[in-house]
């Protein structure tokens, strides 16, 4: 079991390294660099950047070096906890990302919790009462949830929120708290604003998980161990929760890994629409500006989150499924 964990951990570290290389390469892929887009931006606003100025800037940021040197310099900085300068903002990347990364995690976790809390009972119900009226309703809503883009849903909800309740449902904070230091009141304000983005971001995943749970549970319900449990005199509700649902839970645990980055990267447009202070919009802006340090850091963070998520789901799977636990032993 320990060997299994160590192996997973080593794999996780290797994956993180690969992610860092990939994120660096991906950021460098578009033609030109930050200076090119800086010049374009400047000339569109009427200013002019001379060749010397541009070269001086390139030298200053190390953009004139070969790529692998740039990568090594970047990695050196990252390992020391310095993520470089956000070129466009002229401030350290860490400062620009700042609270946003935590808020992103809060929103993502809220979305995932919503997904689980909704998908688990509905999926179980759909399977146990297959082809019932309720199953059809859940399936219908599920497919709608899958088919409707979440930014669309956000717009619709905002429209109704505004016309019916005269409430602005965007953002994560009320105006008076947006720039305020962290207090209990601000935390409460955040809690009040969370459910809606969580619902919007979680709906597609919920629909997906309902289908997965339903299909898995349907497979399990006919297994002999369920019939045996019934033949031992267990009541229907108790036996379904204890046996087939428990086995069908595996995919739930394994989804944590990809759910985290999925929610983050899938939330860019929704975050823009709802003006959520998450890293999504920041990533979009930095990519447009070819701000390699900022974009690279965000992509790297997403990658690390995926790796951590996968590691957590590995641990969870080990906990809920003894067959995995014993794999390492044999």
Partner 1 sequence: MINTVTESSAAPILSVRDLKTYFFPDEGTVKAVDGASFDLLPRTTLGIVGESGCGKSVAARSILRIVERPGRIVGGAILLQQNGSQVDLAQLDPQSQEMRQIRGGDIGLVFQEPMTSFSPVHTVGNQIVETIRLHHPVSTQEARERAIAAFRSVGIPKPERRIDEFAFELSGGLRQRAMIAMALSCGPRILIADEPTTALDVTTQAQILDLLRSLQEREGMTIILITHNLGVVAEMCETVVVMYLGRVVEEGPADAIFHNAKHPYTQALLRSIPSIHSTARAELPTIAGSIPHPYNRPAGCPFHPRCPDFMPGTCDKAEPGLTVVGDGQAVSCFLYDRT
Which residue from 60, 76, 236, 288 is in contact with partner 1, where contact means CB under 8 A? 236
Using CB under 8 A as the binding rule, whether residue 315 contacts partner 1 is answered as no
Cβ pair 299, 283 in contact under 8 A: yes
Options 247, 259, 287, 302; binder of partner 1; rule CB under 8 A: 247
CB of 226 to partner 1, least distance (A): 9
Q: Which of 222, 276, 283, 311 binds partner 1 (CB under 8 A)?
A: 222
Stretch that binds partner 1, among 27-35, 182-190, 243-251, 262-270 (CB under 8 A): 243-251
Task: Give 103's contacts (C-beta < 8 A, 6+ positions apart).
Answer: 172, 276, 277, 278
53 Cα distance to chain centroid: 39
Q: From its phi and psi, is residue 216 left (phi > 0), alpha (psi between -120 and 50) or beta?
A: alpha
The count of residues interacting with partner 1 (CB under 8 A) is 23
Q: For residue 207, how far is the Cα from the chain centroid? A: 17
Cβ-based nearer residue to partner 1, 58 or 230: 230
* Nearest CB to partner 1, comparing residues 140 and 319: 319
Q: Report phi then psi at 148, rounded to 5.
A: -80, 125
Strands (E), the chain: 85-86, 91-92
Measure the CA–CA gap between 285 and 138, rounded to whole angstroms. 38
Which one among 2, 164, 184, 231 touches partner 1, defined by CB under 8 A?
231
Applying CB under 8 A, which of residues 228, 241, 275, 288 lies at the interface with partner 1?
A: 228
Asked if residue 135 binds partner 1 (CB under 8 A), the reply is no
* Residue 66 is a binding residue for partner 1 (CB under 8 A): no
Mark the segment that binds partner 1 (CB under 8 A) among 30-38, 70-78, 217-225, 255-263. Answer: 217-225
Q: CA-CA distances (angstroms) from residue 95 to 182, 222, 276, 294?
A: 16, 55, 18, 10
- Spatial CA neighbour of 265 closest among 313, 305, 208: 305
In the list 72, 227, 241, 288, the residue contacting partner 1 (rule: CB under 8 A) is 227
Of 87-95, 177-185, 226-234, 253-261, the segment contacting partner 1 by CB under 8 A is 226-234
Question: Which residue among 58, 186, 230, 285 contacts partner 1 (CB under 8 A)?
Answer: 230
Shortest distance, position 29 Cβ to partner 1, whole Å: 45
3-state secondary structure 102-170: HHHHHHHHHHHHHHHHHHHHHHHHHHHCCCCHHHHHHHHHHHHHHHCCHHHHHHHHHHHHHHHHCCCCC
Segment lying near partner 1 (by CB under 8 A), choices 75-83, 173-181, 195-203, 319-327: 319-327
Residue 243 lies near partner 1 (rule: CB under 8 A):
yes
Q: How far apart are CA 182 and CA 162, in angstroms?
A: 28
Task: By CB under 8 A, tell whether 133 contacts partner 1.
Answer: no
SS3 175: helix
Residue with Cβ nearer partner 1 (29 or 231)? 231
Residue 83 sits in the site that holds partner 1 (CB under 8 A)? no
CB 202 within 8 A of CB 211: no
326: contact with partner 1 by CB under 8 A: yes
Three-state DSSP class for residue 46 = coil
Contact residues toward partner 1 (CB under 8 A) are 222-225, 227-236, 242-243, 246-247, 320-323, 326
């Amino acid at each position: 079991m320990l060997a299994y964990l160590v192996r997973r951990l080593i794999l996780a570290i290797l994956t993180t390294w690969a992610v860092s290389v990939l994120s660096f390469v991906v950021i460098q892929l578009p033609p030109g660099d930050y200076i090119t887009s800086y010049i374009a931006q400047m000339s569109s606003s009427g200013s002019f950047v001379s060749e010397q100025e541009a070269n001086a800037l390139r030298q200053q940021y190390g953009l004139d070096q070969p790529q692998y040197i740039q990568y090594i310099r970047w990695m050196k900085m990252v390992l020391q906890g310095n993520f470089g300068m956000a070129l466009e903002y002229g401030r350290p990347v860490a400062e620009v990302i700042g609270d946003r990364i935590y808020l992103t995690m809060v929103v993502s976790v809220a979305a995932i919790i919503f997904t689980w809390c909704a998908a688990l009972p509905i999926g179980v119900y759909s399977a146990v009462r297959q082809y019932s009226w309720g199953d059809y309703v859940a399936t219908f809503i599920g497919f709608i949830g899958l088919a409707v883009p979440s930014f669309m849903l956000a717009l619709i909800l905002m429209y109704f929120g505004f016309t019916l309740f005269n409430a602005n449902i965007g953002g994560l904070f009320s105006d008076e708290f947006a720039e305020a230091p962290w207090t209990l009141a601000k935390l409460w304000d955040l809690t009040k604003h969370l459910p809606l983005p969580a619902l919007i971001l979680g709906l597609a995943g919920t629909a997906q998980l309902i289908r997965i749970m339903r299909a898995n549970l349907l497979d399990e319900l006919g297994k002999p161990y369920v019939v045996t449990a019934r033949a031992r005199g267990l009541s229907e509700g108790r036996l379904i929760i204890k046996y087939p649902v428990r086995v069908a839970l595996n995919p739930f645990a394994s989804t944590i890994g990809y759910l985290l980055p999925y929610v983050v990267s899938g939330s860019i447009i929704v975050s823009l629409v709802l003006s959520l202070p998450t890293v999504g919009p920041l990533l979009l802006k930095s990519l447009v500006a070819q701000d390699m340090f900022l974009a690279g850091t965000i992509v790297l963070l997403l990658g690390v989150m995926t790796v951590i998520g996968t590691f957590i789901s590995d641990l969870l799977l080990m906990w809920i499924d003894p067959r995995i636990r014993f794999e390492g032993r044999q």
